Amino acid sequence: MKKTRKSTFFVVVILIALFAVTSVLGIDQIFADKKTTYVKGVDDIRLGIDIKGGVDVTFAPAGDYDADTAQLDSATEIIKTRLTALGITDNEVYSDEKSDRIIVRFPWQVGETDFDPQSAVKELGEMAELTFRKGTDSETDEDGNVTPTAEIVLQGSDVASAQAQYRPDENGEYEYLVALELSPEGSSKFAAATSELAGSSTPISIWMDNTMISAPSVNSAITDGSAVITGNFDQESSKKLADQINSGALPFKMETKSFKTISPTMGEGSLDAILLAALIAFIGIAIYMIVLYKLPGCVAVVALIGQIAGSIAAITGWFGFMNGSTLTILGIAGIILAVGMGVDANIITGERIKEELRTGKSLDAAIKIAYKRAFSAILDGNITNVIIAVILMGAFGVPDSFFSKILNKTIFFAFGATAEGVVYSFGFTLLAGVVCNFIFGVFASRLMVTSLSKFKCFQNRKLYGGDEK
């Protein structure tokens, strides 16, 4: 094993302090009017409707369309999936079968300045019907609305999955595109159409509702069931299109009936109450740990600060470019569980150090053995939590995420691939917390205790809970 030096303690403490400060405050820079976020801080956390309130939108089918129950249900599912794909994991979607209404509630976006509820609502209510058509024929009515009329080759239901990709085109230049994997039925339809059009001047046009995205000409027949949509995509727009295709098309066109803000269910200021409770609890735990375990207790407090910072970083996404998730009561539950496990890891080790010292071992040996022994308990306890977190993320995440794909095809085959954002956010914060537990509660705390024990002034066995010798 590598020798731990005296200086290691300071390096670890400084790193944890830096991490904690950046994840709370964030790092951003303001150039002219544009704010660039390098590291996201607590201000960038999107709070759930239960904590902060949000927007309440009522949708109804456009015109006199009479939707049946099945259609309303599928519209509800699609809206939920779209919300989760947009990173709005906290949402409430109700449907009223009598008057064909769908009521959607979602929380305010972070930094309300750049949040345009109108466009979010528009995105939710879009039909998002993908069509591949022969040729580019369309007609324009007197209001200037374009409707495609060309013969349909493929539609959304022929697509098995869509994925945003960044890869080189024929000229070797990298570009963003959306890659489609077609269903067996879709593959044969597409193969027939492409072999018919191969070499001809008639292109295949690709439409999202009434907007033509691109109209590539066909060079050769495509029989392997794959298709790509190119166009002027960037990272964001390609992902958005892939998400829209994956969540499926609404069975009818919807329009907004009413649009209002709502106050949080928990009451205004509930967040302050939770934060106050968290602060009191943290101070209490800190005093408790230091009184019980003295030096390892102090180290535990530093490790816990790192762990809490890690949980915050996981919710904000920490890095400016990563998507954050929404903090809800369930997410807070996940953090509490993870921090609780972190405290537990420190208590297990602290107890172990005491025990080993009592058997008369030298300080060095006791610390070494205590961390080693404690680790097997911490490992098994945390791995079981990883299992739980991964299953929850798979069961309730966005259908095209990795874990969901595996689980939805096996144990949850009887259910629709619904995304339930709040449970997902619980699994996510729990997973992040467990990872932090290994980093801070086990690794960092061992480095700190071992390094401190090299100092003369910290070699008194009493500081570690041992007997005077």
Which residues, 429 to 458, sit near another protein by CB under 8 A? 430
Nearer to another protein, 299 or 347 (CB): 347
Give the total of residues touching another protein (CB under 8 A).
83
Angstrom distance (rounded) from CA 398 to CA 359: 53
Helix, strand or coil, per DSSP, at residue 141: coil
Angstrom distance (rounded) from CA 258 to CA 274: 32
Helix, strand or coil, per DSSP, at residue 162: strand
Strands of 130-134's sheet in order across = 152-155, 130-134, 204-208, 211-214
Pick from 191, 127, 126, 128: nearest CA to 154: 191
- Choosing from 9, 207, 396, 428, the residue that interacts with another protein (CB under 8 A) is 396
287 binds another protein (CB under 8 A): no
Per-residue mark of binding to another protein, 159-178 (x: CB under 8 A): --------------------
96 binds another protein (CB under 8 A): yes
276 binds another protein (CB under 8 A): yes
Angstrom distance (rounded) from CA 207 to CA 129: 8
- Choosing from 416, 455, 459, 467, the residue that interacts with another protein (CB under 8 A) is 416
Nearer to another protein, 40 or 105 (CB): 105
Angle between helices 445-452 and 329-358 (to 10 degrees): 30
110 binds another protein (CB under 8 A): no
Nearer to another protein, 130 or 343 (CB): 343
Q: Do residues 120 and 109 make contact, with C-beta atoms less than 8 angstroms apart?
A: yes
- Choosing from 160, 215, 298, 336, the residue that interacts with another protein (CB under 8 A) is 336
Question: What is the sign of the dihedral through the CA atoms of 293, 298, 301 and 306?
Answer: negative
448, containing H or E segment: helix 445-452
Residue 337: both structure tokens together = 């569980």
Nearer to another protein, 199 or 269 (CB): 269
- Choosing from 152, 160, 191, 274, the residue that interacts with another protein (CB under 8 A) is 274
Residues written for the chain: 469
Site for another protein in 251-270 (CB under 8 A): 258-267, 269-270
- Choosing from 14, 185, 340, 459, the residue that interacts with another protein (CB under 8 A) is 340
Amino acid occupying residue 283 = I
152 binds another protein (CB under 8 A): no
> Tokens 């960092």 label which residue?
444
Nearest distance in Å: CB 347, another protein: 5
Looking only at the bridges linking them, the beta strands covering 130-134 and 54-61 are unpaired
Site for another protein in 300-329 (CB under 8 A): 329
Angstrom distance (rounded) from CA 141 to CA 112: 38
288 binds another protein (CB under 8 A): yes
Beta strand extents in 194-253 (DSSP E only): 204-208, 211-214, 226-229
- Choosing from 115, 412, 443, 458, the residue that interacts with another protein (CB under 8 A) is 412
Q: Do residues 218 and 195 make contact, with C-beta atoms less than 8 angstroms apart?
A: no
- Choosing from 334, 397, 399, 466, the residue that interacts with another protein (CB under 8 A) is 334
Nearest distance in Å: CB 44, another protein: 23
Angle between helices 270-316 and 329-358 (to 10 degrees): 80
362 binds another protein (CB under 8 A): no
- List phi, psi (to 5°) of 79: -65, -40
- Choosing from 202, 423, 454, 460, the residue that interacts with another protein (CB under 8 A) is 423
Question: Concatenated DSSP letters for 247-277?
Answer: H---SS-EEEEEEEEE--TT-TTHHHHHHHH
Question: What is the Cα gyration radius of the chain?
Answer: 28
Site for another protein in 76-95 (CB under 8 A): 76, 92-95
298 binds another protein (CB under 8 A): no
Q: Do residues 54 and 261 make contact, with C-beta atoms less than 8 angstroms apart?
A: yes
Site for another protein in 213-252 (CB under 8 A): none
- Choosing from 165, 369, 439, 443, the residue that interacts with another protein (CB under 8 A) is 369
Pick from 241, 233, 89, 219: nearest CA to 159: 241
Nearest distance in Å: CB 370, another protein: 12
348 binds another protein (CB under 8 A): yes
Nearest distance in Å: CB 76, another protein: 8
Region near another protein per CB under 8 A, out of 196-204, 226-234, 314-322, 357-365 = 357-365
- Choosing from 29, 99, 119, 145, the residue that interacts with another protein (CB under 8 A) is 99
Site for another protein in 39-58 (CB under 8 A): 53, 55-56, 58
